[in-house]
Structure 1
Amino acid sequence: MRVLLSTYGTRGDVEPLVALAVRLRALGVEVRMCTPPDEEFAERLAGLGVRHVPVGPAVRTLMRGAVLPSAADLARYRTELVETQFDVLPAAADGCDVLVAAGLAQIAARSVAEAAGIRYVYASYAAVHLPSPHHAPPPRPGWAEPDPGTNDNRTLWELDARNVNAQFGETLNGRRAALGLPPVDDVRDHVLTDRPWLAADPALGPWRETPGLDVVQTGTWSLPDERPLPAGLVTFLDAGAPPVYVGFGSIRPPRDVARGAIEAILAQGHRALLSRGWADLDLVDGRDDCFAVGEVNQQRLFGRVTAVVHHGGAGTTVTAARAGAPQVVAATQLSDNPYWAGRVADLEIGVALDGPTATADSLSAAIRTALAPDTRARAKALADEIRTDGAAVAASLLLDTVR
């Protein structure tokens, strides 16, 4: 059996599919994987014996700017990515039995699978990406905003569908016609299917039943990380009380937010641990109560910190929750970040902030709340409910689906 896995995005988009690839290979499945061409993804897959198929421009290059590209540039970039997918995916899918696509950016994937006569599975990493009256669509930069005061979720999802059609409809149907396939009226629902998979933890990000969607929630796709922590980091951790971790992953946060969090932590008498991330943050200034690290094993690290301040990425949120660490989510207004911030607040395992508007005072208050005994107790209790078998569940289900 051969499987093609396809996604486009940062490490948070790629790593869940890596976990699925590893579980599939353990079951004797041959796996190929489409990701951005960034060297770190190519090296990661090569080390696992998974064939890497690069698609689209390097993500790190796109994430370097301090502000998002213009709406016109985003529209052009999205269209070019779809064209590239139609050019690359057919050869990658050749000889495969099923294509698993993760993320709405995978506009071409279902059509490629349809033309090849193979099965297609769509996977989402957060419930907020699937249409439901129980929540609003996530922010999609560069697309038309709803009228002020519009707060009916059904109306907002209808607008979201129109935006997706406006962006992708012409390109998708033009390429489908060239493949001898009929046109698609609703691009978004075509990509999602009526039976999408949800690779999110049921305790942290549950799906609420919605007519028209038969969602299969498998749990988060992740792998145990056995890498040791760097020696310098271990020395810092051993030298005092557990620090508060601050990190924003692939996101470039407003500098005032990162610095404000560090200053608030130190002002309250706690030690701080800063992850440089893709923005290469360095705000330590030689202090012995603050330490900066690059990419490390968060699974091992978060068990040794007293709280986690982050941007709201799905992977960071679930890793902190699994470690029982309280969270302060200074969310960017991108993708599922506000959703995960809301889940942390709803579960009362931390505090949600709007990252772009966070102030020194709001950060200070949020950190104080996160470190309160009641918050810590709730975070510890939730940790026992977080599952670790999502990728294995998905791999077995995928084999059953094909058979």
Structure 2
Amino acid sequence: MKLANVLVAFFVLFNVVFIKKIHHTKTSLWLFGAIAIPLLLDLLFIWNNSSFYLAVKATEKHSLFLIFPLFILGYKGKLDLKRLVKHYRGLMLIVLTILFIRYIFLYSDNFLKYLKGKHLWEMGYHFSNSFGNHAPALNMVIAFIVVINFYLLLKDERRKWKVIGNGFMFFLSFFFLMYVNTRVAIASAVFGCLIISFVQVFRDKNRKRTVKTILLTFVLFVFGITVFLKVFPYSIKKFTEKSFADMDKVGRLDEFENPESQIYGALVTRVTIWKSTLELARKKFVFGYGATEAKLALFEYYKKTNQKFLFKYKFPVHNQFLDYFLKYGIFGIIGLVVFFSVLGYLAIVNKSLIMMFFGLHFFLSNLTDDFLILFSGISFSAFWLSVFGKITLNRNIRFEKN
């Protein structure tokens, strides 16, 4: 986050130097407002906090919803989405590869332990924590890169060297996705690749070649997954036995003898958290508990209802809609519906598979986590929403004349 803040500062400084290249229209300002909804909710409900200082601190991390749309939507030039995602996936894969090699050298004992099939439940989290990241947030980004690579693999299929390069990057990114091993990100990426395969078969004039590329990729994919599961077999258990186990124990987590090893990351734990959040949020249905008070109120509710396991580990909400409901009441839900509707609108207007997947992927990710409270989720969504918005503005000359 510290490095990211430095880069954001350079981004702001660069745009201030070239401020004459920034120009907003009425349409861009409307888009600006829609993208900035998380920040606007903080500002509109700043009165609903006991500490003004803490309220300002909570608002500070949402400042990217001001910075990115301000400079990206207002940029007078045009953006090439395909070129941008190519650079993005390349840079991210270089960074991930360097971090993985670093991990193998610095944490060789852990890596060898995982290769032997021991403690695989912690594998992805330990890797992410080794450079100060959160596994679900990291895998949310990696899933997007996987789908970008698959999309480019099918789009550039007519040039063999590009097919080889895109194929290599696809499998490399999928390896990282499986190693970090968070369920929602993996399911979302696989679903995204299936959608792109289906659409491209009907879009492409040379369907035969596209089908061949998809089938070859599928065969290699199955082979790669088989090898991975042989080395890291816990993934099978995680996706089958553990995912939906013990759902009859919702609200009764303390009945487990060892909940840390049995249900720490299980769905039953999250459903119990959501149940508690809903019970608490209903008490302040209209305006909520405030950005700084909501989390503390939830922890206190765990204690009050004698949920020792949840109170011990201070579990946050793990659902962005419920998190905003708890913080801002019904206005938080309405704000998020508008926010995600804008993502859907941009995808439909541009008829873009990448935008469509991003919107669907970010929506699904926020059903089981609350990424708009994390710097990684804030920066990820604020940047790409601003880029998609700018590309939409450039589609029609009317926007530039407003």
TM-score class normalised by the smaller sequence? under 0.3
* TM-score normalised by structure 1 residue count: 0.27
The structure where helix makes up a greater share of residues is 2
Instruction: Give the TM-score of the pair, scaled to structure 2.
Output: 0.27
Of Structure 1 and Structure 2, which has the larger fraction of its residues in strand? 1
Larger Rg: 2
